[in-house]
Amino acid sequence: MELSGTAEAGKLLARARRPVVFTGAGMSAESGVPTFRDALTGLWEQFDAQALATPEAFRADPALVWGWYEWRRTAVRRAEPNPGHRAVAAIEARVPGTVVVTQNVDDLHERAGSAAPVHLHGSLFAPRCSACAHPAPVPDGVAEPGEGRPLTPPRCGRCDAPVRPGVVWFGEALPEQAFEAAVEAAYRCDVLLTVGTSGLVYPAAEIPQVAARLGATVIQINPEETPLDAVCELNLHGPAAHVLPALVRAAWGDAAPA
Ligand code: BJW
Ligand code: ZN
């Protein structure tokens, strides 16, 4: 009897000793956090990336950019991890060699129980000085920000320059340690799950490609086709919040932590 994609992927996952779970915005979609490029619902449908997610945009209008990130941070604080995030934490609990690499700037993997996800594109919860990079406190109890409404950024406690969001904008280098950890995990892994990413943004999109080139089995979880289809042995078409728990059950049965 031919195995279904999920059953086959479950067998591969159950045998894995050094899996990598590589996630993008689709991972958090069912927590109500919008993706970037999905038609109608993606952030870039509504907002101009060049006016909000570049260093030039912050220099031109720090209040607009800061306000937009305040709005997004407030939305993430109100969101809850979904069963997909919990399934990722369950994989980690089952296989101690698991590495979670995320492009997401939310904290939903951590809140679902993942120990130390590698954040390739920074975090909404790590603001820093735009001049001296000194870490700044996450503002607490700020006025409810409107959708992208200008909101003056706080000043650095060390040099008084404006504080910026601790995320990676277009044209900026990825945090060195995080990128090195991700590349090393891609080199070492036996199975890589690529979940909810369009695979369009580099260098992050190299991670599943590196793993595939070095012989790992790459399994994709995404309702849509992506450029990563070409390097994937299995494509599980569906939402992460459904497919990942099913995959964990296929790998370890109903006794799997979920
Ligand atoms: C579901 C689902 C469900 C829906 N379940 N799935 C031309 C060619 C190649 C490269 C470049 C180029 N021109 C410029 C570049 C470089 C650029 C780049 O890659 N651009 C491309 C867009 C063309 N890259 C950079 O600039 C990077 N830096 C760099 O290259 O530096 C060079 C350098 C070196 C040394 C010194 C200095 C410089 C930096 C990239 C930073 C990306 N930043 C952002 C914003 C972060 C902050 C913020 O959140 O605002 O990161 S952009 C945005 O895209 C965000 C994401 O992490 C990233 C990836 O998006 P992701 O996660 O894949 O989301 P989507 O929306 O694209 O896809 C969602 C997917 O989920 C879809 O497939 C859906 O089907 C699926 N989905 N529901 C499962 N329920
Ligand atoms: Zn400073």
Instruction: Kindly list the protein residues that place their beta carbon closer than 5 angstroms to ligand 2, a single-atom ion.
Output: 129, 131-132, 134, 156, 158-159, 161
Say if residue 134 is in the same domain as residue 216.
no
Would you call 242 a catalytic residue per the annotation? no
Burial readout 2-30 (b: 16 or more C-beta within 10 A, e: otherwise): eeebbebbbebbbebebbbbbbbbbbbbb
Say if residue 184 is in the same domain as residue 152.
no
Say if residue 135 is in the same domain as residue 45.
yes
Say if residue 97 is in the same domain as residue 24.
yes
Q: What is the pLDDT of residue 258?
A: 47
Burial class (CB in 10 A: 0-12, 13-18, 19+), 52: buried
- CA separation for the pair 167, 205 (Å, rounded): 17
Chain centre distance of CA 77: 15
CATH number for position 98 = 3.40.50.1220
Domains in the chain, number: 2
pTM score, whole prediction: 0.96
Contact 127/28 with Cβ under 8 angstroms? no
Q: What is the pLDDT of residue 22?
A: 99
Q: Which of 109, 121, 134, 242 is catalytic?
A: 121
Say if residue 224 is in the same domain as residue 103.
yes
66 is in which domain, residue-wise?
A: 34-78+123-167
Say if residue 207 is in the same domain as residue 92.
yes
> Does 194 contact ligand 1 (Cβ within 6 A)?
no
Say if residue 243 is in the same domain as residue 160.
no
Contact 166/172 with Cβ under 8 angstroms? no
Q: How far is the CA of 53 from the centre of ligand 2 (A)?
A: 20
Say if residue 133 is in the same domain as residue 115.
no
Q: Show pLDDT as tens, one digit a residue, over the chain (258 residues).
A: 456 899 999 999 999 999 999 999 999 999 999 999 998 899 999 889 988 999 999 999 999 999 999 999 999 999 999 999 999 999 999 999 999 999 999 999 999 999 999 999 999 999 999 999 999 999 876 656 667 778 899 999 999 999 999 999 999 999 999 999 999 999 999 999 999 999 999 999 999 999 999 999 999 999 999 999 999 999 999 999 999 999 999 999 976 554
Q: What is the pLDDT of residue 149?
A: 79
Q: How far is the CA of 93 from the centre of ligand 2 (A)?
A: 39
CATH number for position 41 = 3.30.1600.10
Say if residue 43 is in the same domain as residue 100.
no
Q: What is the pLDDT of residue 141?
A: 63
Say if residue 163 is in the same domain as residue 256.
no
Contact 20/101 with Cβ under 8 angstroms? yes
Residue from 88, 104, 79, 78 nearest 19 by CA: 88
Q: Which helix (H) or strand (E) holds 55?
A: helix 55-60
Q: How far is the CA of 248 from the centre of ligand 1 (A)?
A: 27
Say if residue 63 is in the same domain as residue 133.
yes
- Given 99, 132, 167, the domain boundary residue is 167
Residue from 255, 112, 125 nearest 195 by CA: 112
Say if residue 114 is in the same domain as residue 236.
yes
